[in-house]
Amino acid sequence: MTILQQQGQAAKSAAYPLATAGTAKKNAALQAMANILTDRQAEWLQANARDIAAAKEAGMRPSLLDRLALTAERIAGIVDGIRQIRALPDPIGRVDRMETRPNGLIIGRRRVPLGVIAIIYEARPNVTVDAAALCLKSGNACILRGGKEAIHSNRCAASLMREALVSVGLPADCISLVQDTSRESANELMHLDGYVDVLIPRGGAGLIRAVAKEASVPVIRTGEGVCHIYVDSEANLDMAAEILYNAKCSRPSVCNAVECVLVQEDIAGAFWAKALPLFDRHDVELRADGQALGILGGRALPASEEDWDAEYDDYILAVRTVRDCQEAVSFINAHGTGHSECIVTDNYFKAQRFLDAVDAAAVYVNASTRFTDGGEFGLGAEIGISTQKMHARGPMGLEELTSSKYVIYGEGQIRE
């Protein structure tokens, strides 16, 4: 038996007592996790500093360094996310249907944990805690496999959380971290049949597509984020410029950052007069179509066909000029990844058409795509943002980490 198989077996064993632990014990574990990550954050920051130093030496670009970095403020936000999850209603045991059949059988449907959830993710140490906390509250054991860039941060966080579990009488193996960050460990985790009930990849498009293609265990795809903002001819242009600036520049490396802006041709010149000074603050590289190049001149580069499907994760923005809302919708449905899309307009009817016609997990009117986040949606945190059309779509919180079982009460009925 390999080390990872042993880890899977331990997680499977831990999943049984966790599934029946009850809300009070799970909440006590979450509180203990919040306390230990706060009280011993110096250890976590020290481990993160080792990761940051190695990443800088390896030439990691600034936007990805920002995604990797922990600060006292960020740790406070992560811990607050745990406390928000603790305060949420427990979905386990909830009965969402109950009816009496003509033969007297009472048939209900009850929410239950999925079992063991494996998560493969990249250089984001906050995911280690977010995923563990959501899995714990929803009664699932988890096997976490982060990227090599964050290995010291992840080891520290996982070790602290395992201490917290033991302190309240839960098995440490409710949360486990894959220590080997090689490609081989990821491949083995994708095929850990019999131990892993569902696998969730969280990261860039390459990772997600590779997992979906190779895995033999069930997969929920998340996170591919080619997001668009359409600036309509009836938009408030000052507001549109601020929304676009926030969606691109607040954190360009995250999946809800905008990658392409579509501007209605009648207001393109006026819009860019307002937007360019904002983008100059970060020297955002613009890759534009021919019509936009006529407005932007030397401030932009010619876009290639590949730019319309690119997830840059950087201070780069694709720019396209469109005739109207319908062309914008058609373009988004052809090139989007089903993540988050936005229209900026003061026209109610155009907004409603956009909401109805755009095929995505989250569709916005007059707001930044950066709000597609479990915390912002009131879920406490999220284990990922699903772009599939399954039971889970959009930010995945507690409810999306459950399955159901039918419970049937009888009085001796037999089927004839």
* pLDDT of 11: 98
CATH 3.40.309.10 segments of the chain: 227-371
Q: In which residue ranges of the chain is CATH 3.40.605.10 found?
A: 3-222+404-409
Q: Are 141 and 114 in contact (CB under 8 A)?
A: no
pLDDT band at 328 (very low <50, low <70, confident <90, very high): very high
Interacting residues of 280 by C-beta distance below 8 A, sequence separation 6+:
none
Most confident range, picked from 77-81, 93-97, 322-326: 322-326
pLDDT for the residue numbered 389: 78
**Between residues 296 and 393, which one has the greater pLDDT?**
296
Query: What pLDDT score was predicted for residue 246?
Result: 98
Q: Residue 203's pLDDT is what?
A: 75
300-302 and 285-288 as β-strands: parallel, antiparallel, unpaired?
Answer: parallel
Judged against a pLDDT cut of 80, whether residue 53 lies above it is answered with: yes
Q: Cβ atoms within 10 A of the Cβ of 298, count?
A: 6
Q: Is the predicted pLDDT of residue 204 greater than 80, yes or no?
A: no
Looking at per-residue pLDDT, the higher value among 366 and 213 belongs to 366
Specify the pLDDT at position 327. Answer: 98
Model pTM score: 0.83
pLDDT score at 392: 79
pLDDT of 63 > 80? The answer is: no
Query: Which region among 214-218, 221-225, 272-276, 362-366 has the lowest average model confidence (pLDDT)?
Result: 221-225
Q: Does the pLDDT value for residue 69 go beyond 80?
A: yes
Query: What would be the CATH architecture of the domain defined by 227-371?
Result: 3-Layer(aba) Sandwich (3.40)
* pLDDT tens string 337-350: 999 999 999 999 99
More confident residue, 255 or 160: 160
d(CA 30, CA 19): 15
**Distance from C-alpha of 258 to C-alpha of 243, rounded to nearest angstrom:** 10
Q: Residue 52: its pLDDT value, please?
A: 96
Cα–Cα distance measured from residue 362 to residue 350, given in angstroms and rounded to the nearest whole number: 17
d(CA 113, CA 133): 14
Confidence at residue 124, expressed as pLDDT on a 0 to 100 scale: 86
Q: Does domain 3-222+404-409 have CATH number 3.40.605.10?
A: yes
Q: What is the DSSP letter of 332?
A: H
Task: Please determine, for residue 90, whether its predicted confidence score (pLDDT) is greater than 80.
Answer: yes
